[in-house]
Amino acid sequence: MVNAQTKILGVIGDPIEHSLSPLMHNFILKKIGMNFCYHAFRVTDSQLPEAVAGARALNFRGLNVTLPHKTRIVRFLDEIHDEADDLEAVNTVLFSHGKMLGFNTDVIGFMLAVRKTGVDLAGKKAILIGAGGSAKAVALGLLRLGSNEISIYNRNEIRAQITADFLKKKSGSNIFSARALSDWQLYRDVENAAILVNATSVGMYPDFEQIALPED
């Protein structure tokens, strides 16, 4: 039961209506008997500074961060740790002793998901659709899983190139390339790739039938 001692957790993003995080987290919290309540909050780009300040003022205990705020929230945090620092992208915020601490669990989460499928990426090509904070985490995960060639496709080729250059600099590896999503090279790459990962918002609930690839 929610009472005056209930601690607040949540997830912020836009859109957020698709999120199953409240259902999953509240089920687990109830199961283990913790007096926490987890909510989903729609926060637009322009609302992000106020939302972060409000969460701090209201003594939130933690936040998950999803599209499109994973990179933008970094500037509002007191500290960023581990892979969040490497990627300059945060998906988890911990409120501790008056500070907001940023972490990134996307890399390990993606790697665990791939390993569960049994797909071996060692020495193989990977295709990544998207160029945001989630894409950076996926790209790093693909590199750690042994992929030797990672092609980044995005509607905006310039943004794809910026992401590829960022990853080259951070990882010290030159296996990243960038192309526009409309480039016909995509179809040749698909034929030779071991995995294709969609790191965009296309296809999220409830629009499962949408695909990130060009229809033609």
Quick: pLDDT tens for 8-60. 999 999 999 989 999 999 999 999 999 999 999 999 999 999 999 999 999 99
Domain boundaries defined on the chain:
7-104, 107-198
> Which tokens belong to 117?
């499928």
A 10 A CB-CB count for 48 gives 19
Dihedral of alpha carbons 206, 45, 132, 83, sign: negative
DSSP state of 118: T
Q: Which of 70, 99, 125, 170 is catalytic?
A: 70
Quick: pLDDT tens for 115-156. 999 999 999 999 999 999 899 999 999 999 999 999 999 999
> Which tokens belong to 5?
């001692």
Catalytic-residue membership of 70: yes
CATH number of 7-104: 3.40.50.10860
- Count of helix runs (H) and strand runs (E) in the chain: 7, 10
Fold agreement between 7-104 and 107-198: yes
17-40 b/e (C-beta count within 10 Å ≥ 16 → b): eebebbeebeeebeeeeeebbbeb
Q: How far is CA 38 from CA 30, 47, 89, 158, in A?
A: 11, 20, 22, 37
Is the pLDDT at 107 greater than 90, yes or no? yes
A 10 A CB-CB count for 148 gives 14
Q: How far apart are CA 74 and CA 60, in angstroms?
A: 17
Is the pLDDT at 216 greater than 70, yes or no? no
122, 98 contact by CB (below 8 A): no
- Fold topology of 107-198: Rossmann fold (3.40.50)
213: confidence class by pLDDT, cuts 50, 70, 90: low
